[in-house]
């Protein structure tokens, strides 16, 4: 199952895009409670949101973003059938992508 959930909603002619990603976002200073070892850093570094193949927003982020990150953006306008695409890359090189079509 994809780690990304995308929802869109029309508000006053604009489109609100909400993104929820499942990710541990470990910053590398937490300790494992049973072994008392440091949990290695594991967090999303880059996120790209595009609309019909054109980039709308690029994000670079650090460890100060909460576990299971949530973002929301407001798109000017937005038509039915427009394709939203999200890609993220984390510090271990994992990545995931998801598509969403505006209704």
Partner 1 sequence: MTNFRRQFIKKTATVAVAMASGLLRIPRAHAFWKTEDFAPGLLDATLKRLVLNQKITDTNQISIKIPLIAENGALVPVSVSTTLANVKSISLLVEKNPVPLAIRFELSPALEASVSARLKMAETADVIALIETSDGFYRAKERVKVTIGGCGG
Binding site for partner 1 (CB under 8 A): 14, 25, 27, 29-31, 33, 45-46, 48, 51, 54-67, 69-76
Q: Which is nearer to partner 1, 91 or 98 (CB)?
A: 91
Q: What is the edge-to-edge ordering of all strands in the sheet holding 44-51? A: 44-51, 83-90, 95-101
Minimum CB distance to partner 1, residue 62 (Å): 4
21 in the Ramachandran plot: left (φ > 0), alpha (ψ -120 to 50) or beta?
Answer: beta
Minimum CB distance to partner 1, residue 1 (Å): 22
């Amino acid at each position: 199952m994809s780690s990304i959930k995308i929802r869109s909603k029309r508000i006053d002619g604009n489109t609100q895009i909400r993104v929820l990603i499942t990710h541990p976002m470990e910053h590398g200073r937490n300790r494992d409670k049973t072994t008392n070892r440091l949990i290695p850093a594991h967090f999303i570094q880059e996120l790209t949101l595009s609309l019909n193949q054109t980039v709308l927003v690029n994000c670079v982020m650090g460890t100060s973003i909460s576990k299971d990150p949530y973002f929301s953006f407001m798109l000017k306008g937005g038509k039915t059938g427009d394709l939203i695409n999200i890609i993220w890359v984390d510090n271990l090189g994992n990545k995931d992508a998801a598509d969403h079509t505006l209704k």
